[in-house]
Chain A
Amino acid sequence: MLKLVLLLVAFVQTQFSLCQLRPHPPVPPSPNEFTQPVLWFRSGNGFQISWQDVAGRDGFFVSVCNDERGFLPVAVNVSDTSLTLQGFDRAGDHIVQVSAFVRVGQNMVFNTGALTTIPVTPKDVSLREEPEEAQDVESEATADPNPMTPGEVTAESPSLIEELTTETKVVAVAHRQTLARQFPMLNGDRSFYSPKYPFVENPMFEQAGPNGERIPALLVDAEIDATVARIQARTQPVSEGTPSLDTNKETVVATNLEKPVVHQVTGTTGSSPNLEEKLKLAAEIQAKAEEKKPQVLTPEPTQPKVESKPEVTPEPAPMPRAPSENNTLIWIAILVLAGFLYFIFAKEAK
């Protein structure tokens, strides 16, 4: 009986610590931190997420966690500030992390990123995860505009990051294992990533590799200088504004106002918006959405082989989730467990 109880406790603990982040501190010249949370709303059979633009970035990296594999990349080089996630392989809460990155030489330097949680229902589940051995090139095209089989590109390809630019705006979450193979060890914790030396977390000094080989300091001052000069040379200033939600295209809008289940790390350049501001923003977006009639969802011209549905069936608009909803669920689970334990021990005592 005691074993059963211990197993139950271990199970509960595992479920709540699956997506725990252990972020590494930033290194220069990381992009500015986000000061606004990631927003999401339902879009057809998926979720559109959008986030704030930040200064000093080359692109955005999006990863998702919903199981023991932790955060796995779903899009490595997003140039826009929004992305539609679809093709889920299982229901349940999915924690999405968006990080901005800048390329320094052949490496990536990230900011801390921002998180949100999307509630995937069984209705949203449309794809089963592909087996490890069999890779479906067509399905990869759904996840990426530049389809490539794992054999074509290795993590050591110098231009891999640029080749994987995600212009499509739609990615299939179920296929994230493919991208994870191309970018081994790239997860939400990293502040630095070298495709050539994916195991190097600290690029500041020379070190020995797993086979005893000498790895030079990967963050080189000359490359930082070149990166800073390249970013500064951009003529278009980046406006660090509110994440935009394109309400013209969608029929239903719901924003996620809650704090994510895991610890949310936001930026330091300014104070995070308070709850009142978030509610105001959500109310404005909701009002805009209600003004719009359900419209036909037309595919983007640059979209790859994504099966576009000609018409989107309006779904009832979910209410913005209460800030403490997830915490409440955790407490309910704990209370149920405590009740169960009390029942067992009371019975034993009798």
Chain B
Amino acid sequence: MNLVKSMIVSLILAAVPQAEAVTVNLSPGWNLVSPVLAQAKAVDQFLTDHASGCSITKIWEYSGGWAQYVPSGINQINTIKPGQGYWFLVSGACDVTTNDTTPGYAYSFESSGWKLIGSNSQADVSIDSAGLLNPANFSSGDASGVIKIWEYSGSSGWKSWQPSGASALSAMRPGYGYWMLLSTGGISLDSSNSSLADLLPPVCPGCPPIQ
């Protein structure tokens, strides 16, 4: 009986998403980050809760134009939003740590051009048809609209992914920001769109599909 109980508890624990700490190590200078958050947080609150050891000089947000945050000064950003990327300028090495349970990413891009984003996931998201570019994730548009993704790290510089040919970048890491270039607008991507069938092995030929 106890064995059954413990098995049930294990199954429940496995099914319920667990909050995992995500830590991004910032180097002195510019860092491209995207904190993993369940919901938007006021910048000051975010810095107190998740980056208390950081000496932030400036934060930049990009949405077609730039908005900045300077501690005890300018605040054009107001909140740190899940799935949004940011340039953090820090004067010394430090960590940004979050511990939220997140639903993953959900983007809606009306226009083409550059988007500064993050995966908002606690695990790596591969940039391929099994991960970020899974057709099931697209409620409008498709993967052909994504033509470039860049990652920046203070230690290794830029790495990029492109649809064809070899790419130095293959996955989006938790907590890091990414530049995504879209050739078209009207693209909506949501990680929660992936169906149960994506998690199960392919059905046998002639068998009814898994619903």
Q: Indicate if the CB atoms of B113 and A56 lie closer than 8 Å.
A: no
CB proximity to B under 8 Å, residues A267-289: 267-272
- Chain B residues within an 8 Å CB radius of A205: 29-30, 154, 157
Q: A26-B62, A202-B158, A204-B29 are in contact. Are A221 and B89 (CB under 8 A)?
A: yes
Q: Mark B168-184, 1 if CB is under 8 A from A, else 0.
A: 00000000000101010
Q: How many residues of A contact B (CB 8 A)?
A: 29
With A and B bound together, what is the CA distance between A265 and B114 in angstroms? Answer: 8
In the bound complex, do residue A33 and residue B60 qualify as a contact, i.e. CB atoms below 8 Å apart?
no
Contact A269 B30 (CB under 8 A): no
Contact A267 B111 (CB under 8 A): yes
Give the number of A-B contacts (CB < 8 Å). 81
The A-contacting residues of B in range 136-168, CB under 8 angstroms, are 147-148, 150, 152, 154, 157-158
Q: Say yes or no: A265 contacts B63, CB within 8 Å.
A: no
Shortest CB distance A268–B (Å):
3
CB distance from B110 to the nearest CB of A (A): 5
What chain A residues lie within 8 Å of B89 (beta carbons)?
A: 221
A305: min CB distance to chain B, Å? 39
- Answer yes or no: A119 CB below 8 A from chain B CBs: no
Nearest neighbor of A29 in chain B, beta-carbon distance: B66
Contact B65 A55 (CB under 8 A): yes
CB-contacts of A214-266 with B (<8 A): 217, 219, 221, 228, 263-266
Q: Is the CB of B181 within 8 A of A28?
A: no
* Given A202-B158, A271-B185, residue A266 in contact with residue B65 (CB < 8 A): no
A268 touches B64 (CB 8 A): yes
Assess the A26–B114 pair: CB atoms within 8 A: yes
Query: Interface on B for A, CB 8 Å cutoff?
Result: 29-30, 57-58, 60, 62-66, 68, 87, 89, 109-115, 147-148, 150, 152, 154, 157-158, 179, 181, 183, 185
A residues with CB within 8 A of B: 23, 25-26, 28-30, 32-33, 35, 55-56, 112, 202, 204-205, 217, 219, 221, 228, 263-272
Sample of 15 A–B contacts (CB below 8 Å): A23-B148, A28-B68, A29-B66, A35-B64, A55-B65, A204-B30, A219-B30, A228-B68, A265-B112, A266-B112, A268-B109, A268-B111, A268-B113, A268-B115, A272-B185
